[in-house]
Each structure stands twice: as structure tokens, then as C-alpha cells.
Chain A
């Protein structure tokens, strides 16, 4: 508990950002959301408002539904056959499951970074970053060039790769590949970035770089990050949601969750009594 408290206090400065929320509309309004994989219920009656321009962390033990939750936010759960859902999710007030819109439309506005980096092996670094733009129909060279540099800078990768943008994407190290994937997601200029345990396959230094990256992004874009690493949640996020067995147990300021959580289950989890 003490370690976490000290980590929280180190980030006191960043807490002030939360007070400068630039919009009142929440990024995601989730109401009574339920999710089943065939007969197994992964999420049960989740209702939560995720605020804009913040980093929101989703924590909980394995199998609690946090990955299922974040994948539902950009309709990625539909990729798995046999999933059923109930309830509603709104992205800036727009129902993402409406019949009138296509999933791809939502996914262009909500970016995602995966647990294991997956740059496309047949493409160079530049092509990887720009693939989202190109395949969505943007081909003007000037724009592509500008976006390439912007995204790589945002992902803190520009200086490392600017001299060999034509090298294959898979020739980078693990941490660099993950930042490449972040750049790729950012190039499409999403309004939200979802990160599903982005550092779990990285070493501590690469993890640190990505956490720094998250700090620089939080002004520009809303971030939802799933992590099983509580210290990471405490370091990086403004708000934290604790999930357990498919239910949302508690959701409030990160500081509150880690210092004096209201729910006894939350307290047990963050103090390490189960994981």
C-alpha cells in the first residue's frame, strides 16, 4: 500500500490534468452491457462512463472480463464466432451497435493496440504506419508524409527510425514494434485509443517508454488501458475501474481506488491478497 501511495503522490502533478477536462460528454457511455461467448457469460451488467481526455485503467484478476470489455468498445468481440451481447455502448453519444453504421466506422474512430505487437511482416516501417490511411482511401503523398512523421513522433519512435523507414516493420525490437503499432493506430487519428495489456510482453525499459508515451498522449486523446500490473495502473491512469468475475466492482479516481477503495473486494485485490 505504501509503495503505491508514494507512486500516486509522484504523479500528483498529472492529477491536475483531470480537472481540465475539455469536454463534458463522456467518450463511452456503457449501460447494462452483457457479453456471452456461447454459453459463458463474460460480462454482466456493466454500466460505466469513460471520460474524455483521461487515461482510464481497467484492472482485475485474469478472467475477470477486462479484455472482453475493452474489445467490446470497438466491436472487436464480433470477430470471435458465437458472441452475443446485450445493453448499449455509446461513443460520444452515438450508439455503436446501431444498424445504420458499420463496425469499420467505429473502428476508425477508436484505435486499438494489442497485447503482442503485430506489425505487418510484408510492409516496411513507413508502410506499416500508413496502412490504416492508405487502405481507407487516403493517398495524397503530402498528407501521408506529414502523418507519418506526426504519428512516429507521438509514439516516441521518430528519432529511432527516421533514417531507415524502409526497413521491414518486423526488424525492430519488441518494444519498438509495439511503439510502431501505437504509431500505426495513431496515424488514423482516432478519438480514443484502447490498449489491451500493451506492455505485458515487453521488458521494463520498453514498458517505461510506453508509459511515458501514454503520459504525453493524454492531452490529445482519450486512452483506455487494460493492465494486470497494478503499479502501472497507479502510475499512468487518472481513473481506474476494477472488474471481477465479469462485473464492474468499483470505478473512481485512481488515487481513491488505491488508497481507500470503497469496496472490500477492491481492497483485497489492490493489496495483493488475490490476483
Chain B
């Protein structure tokens, strides 16, 4: 072909055309990525398909019915929606202030020597599985609450409808508290990220006006990060909604709606966990699936909102759940 061919002994295999190993690998990788889309469709479709029986049977009133009677084959979702929402609400009412406060402590006060170990501890908190929190909840937290905290609440705040009624230990409040403990790490770490993203210019401007350390925090930092901290709270809520095991173990599992927080409750996830394997009729099973669908929809909406809020904050790079 041309004379300057060097006098070396071995030529590379000069394949000219399009190579199929390259295309196959790219295709494999594409398959891997498209599994995500497949899964989304799968989850949505399966839940819908299995709930169809219950949907046809009860229609929209499923969401409003309070009766959950496997014997009579009558099912309603309201007690569980109530339970999920109330326990999650308690959880974020407890976890968000504590989490933001801790995040403030970590970013503003803690010297480096304390900060790193504290962060490690909080990460460890996040890695404890739900069932272990539940175990600890049954045998440590609930007895303590039953014997000390609840009576104290009853005597001091017993005029409120939330703190009336008999004390069993397992209760809506216990469920809320344990979920609060479980979502604290994620609320704290997101809040930390939010606080750290406040540009120093804001702080310095406030200092330059002669503000004390905490006035700076209130004025410059917190007001700037209001939306982000709210997003952290919504993320925590999204997590709280899906918690199953620990809640099942401490909430009492009674499908009654009650104003008192001392009364046992029942969440969407807990009823599914408890009764799924023993659902006797098709309608029973289908209703449980419909509860799962309701749970999925609520969770997706909340998580979607949280993602949007945080995406605004970090423009594109998303936080891991």
C-alpha cells in the first residue's frame, strides 16, 4: 500500500468494519439502564391490576370507609390513612426541629474534633434496620413511655384531647416517636447540606452589622435556607410514610380512629405487613393491594415534591434517599 511500512514483525489486526462487541456492550448497558423504566411501569401496573377487584367493589368510598372487617369482607382505608398521616406528622413535628437544631449545632458551633464523631454517630443511626428499632421499641421504649412519659403527659397536658384515654404503651404516639428517631439522621444530614450551602457573604454581612452569633444565624442563615430546610422536612416525611416494621411493632395495630395519641393505631404499611400473608378471600387480598396503591401514591407525591424542592436548591445533582 505504501512504502514506509516499518520493518516490524507483527501487525495489528486491521478490522475495518463496525464491531459487534462494541454494539452489544452498549446494548447491554442500555438494557441495564432501561430496567429502571421497566420497574416503574411494573410497580404501577401490578399494584393497579391487583387492586382492581377492590376498586370495583368499593369505588372511591374505599378511601372514606372506616370499617375494616375481614369477617364480613368489608374494607375501608380511612383508619390506615389516618394512622399513617398522624404517625408521620408526629414524627416530623419531633424530628424536624431536633434535626435542624442538630444541623445548626454541627455547622455553626461544633469544633472539628466533636463534629466528625457526631456525624459518624448519626450515620450509624441511619444504618440501624427498622426491625431492630422495632425490637428495641417493644422492649425498651414502649415500657418506658407507658410507665413514665405517658402518665406525665396525661397529668400535665391531659386537658387536650390528644392525651386523654387509657394508656397501653403501644400507641400512635409510640409509633410517631420511633419513626421520628428513624428519620432524624436523614433530616439532619439534609439540613446540614442546606445550611452549608448558604454563602458566607450573607453571614459576613450580618456580622458587619454587629450581630451576635445567633442573630447572624437567624437573620442571614435560617431565612436564606427556609425553603431548603422545609425540603429536608418533606424528605423526612417521605421516609416516614414508608416505615413498616418498627411502626408495626409499637403502634398497637388496631384499625380504629381515635383522637387520643395514647390509643393504638394502624398504618397502611403495618396492616399490609400483618395481614397480607393471612388474607383469606380475594377481596381481602385485593383491598390490601389497594392499600398498597394508596401508600405508593401518597409516598410518590411527597417524595416528588421533596425532589423538586431540593433540585431547585442544587440544580440537578440529586440527593440520595
In the complex, whether B36 has a CB less than 8 A from a CB of chain A is no
Task: Assess the A189–B18 pair: CB atoms within 8 A.
Answer: no
Partner of A102, one of B1, B3, B16: B16
Task: Assess the B6–A108 pair: CB atoms within 8 A.
Answer: no
Which residues of A lie under 8 Å from residue B19 when comparing CB positions?
102, 104
Task: Assess the B16–A100 pair: CB atoms within 8 A.
Answer: yes
A113 to B64, CA, bound (A): 71
Q: Separation in Å of the B240 CB from the closest CB of chain A?
A: 42
Task: Assess the A105–B14 pair: CB atoms within 8 A.
Answer: yes
A191 to B11, CA, bound (A): 11
Task: Assess the A23–B2 pair: CB atoms within 8 A.
Answer: yes
Task: Assess the A101–B4 pair: CB atoms within 8 A.
Answer: no
Partner of A108, one of B1, B8, B9, B14: B14
A134 to B14, CA, bound (A): 14
In the complex, whether A272 has a CB less than 8 A from a CB of chain B is no
In the complex, whether B13 has a CB less than 8 A from a CB of chain A is yes
Task: Assess the B16–A101 pair: CB atoms within 8 A.
Answer: yes
Task: Assess the B18–A102 pair: CB atoms within 8 A.
Answer: yes
Within 8 A of B (CB), among A86-123: 92, 100-102, 104-105, 108-109
In the complex, whether A220 has a CB less than 8 A from a CB of chain B is yes
In the complex, whether B10 has a CB less than 8 A from a CB of chain A is yes
Task: Assess the B14–A92 pair: CB atoms within 8 A.
Answer: no
Which residues of B lie under 8 Å from residue A143 when comparing CB positions?
9-10
Task: Assess the B17–A92 pair: CB atoms within 8 A.
Answer: no
| Interface residues contributed by chain A, number (CB under 8 Å) | 26
Task: Name the residue on A nearest B10 (C-beta).
Answer: A143
Interface centre among B8, B10, B11, B18 (most CB of A within 10 A): B10
Partner of A25, one of B2, B8, B13, B15: B2
In the complex, whether B277 has a CB less than 8 A from a CB of chain A is no
In the complex, whether B114 has a CB less than 8 A from a CB of chain A is no
Q: Separation in Å of the A130 CB from the closest CB of chain B?
A: 13
In the complex, whether A52 has a CB less than 8 A from a CB of chain B is yes
Task: Name the residue on A nearest B13 (C-beta).
Answer: A137
Name the interface size band of chain B: 10 to 19
Task: Assess the B10–A92 pair: CB atoms within 8 A.
Answer: no
Task: Assess the B13–A136 pair: CB atoms within 8 A.
Answer: yes
In the complex, whether B128 has a CB less than 8 A from a CB of chain A is no
Within 8 A of B (CB), among A183-197: 188-189, 191
List residues of B whose CB falls within 8 A of some A CB: 1-4, 6, 8-19
Q: Separation in Å of the A132 CB from the closest CB of chain B?
A: 9
Which residues of B lie under 8 Å from residue A102 when comparing CB positions?
15-19
Task: Name the residue on A nearest B7 (C-beta).
Answer: A220
A138 to B8, CA, bound (A): 14
Q: Separation in Å of the B26 CB from the closest CB of chain A?
A: 13
A6 to B10, CA, bound (A): 42
Which residues of B lie under 8 Å from residue A266 when comparing CB positions?
none
Task: Assess the A53–B10 pair: CB atoms within 8 A.
Answer: no
Which residues of B lie under 8 Å from residue A100 when comparing CB positions?
16-17
A23 to B2, CA, bound (A): 7
Q: Separation in Å of the B3 CB from the closest CB of chain A?
A: 5
In the complex, whether A22 has a CB less than 8 A from a CB of chain B is yes
Partner of B4, one of A22, A105, A133: A22
Q: Given A23-B4, A92-B1, A220-B6, answer yes or no on A189-B11 (Cβ-Cβ < 8 Å).
A: yes
Q: Separation in Å of the B11 CB from the closest CB of chain A?
A: 7
Q: Given A102-B19, A104-B19, A143-B9, answer yes or no on A52-B14 (Cβ-Cβ < 8 Å).
A: no
- In the complex, besides A104-B19, A137-B13, 16 extra interface pairs with C-beta distance below 8 angstroms are A23-B2, A23-B4, A25-B2, A52-B4, A92-B2, A101-B16, A101-B17, A102-B17, A102-B19, A105-B16, A109-B14, A133-B12, A136-B13, A143-B10, A146-B9, A189-B8
Which residues of A lie under 8 Å from residue B3 when comparing CB positions?
22-23
Task: Name the residue on B nearest A53 (C-beta).
Answer: B4
Within 8 A of B (CB), among A127-162: 133, 136-138, 143, 146, 150
Task: Assess the A188–B4 pair: CB atoms within 8 A.
Answer: no
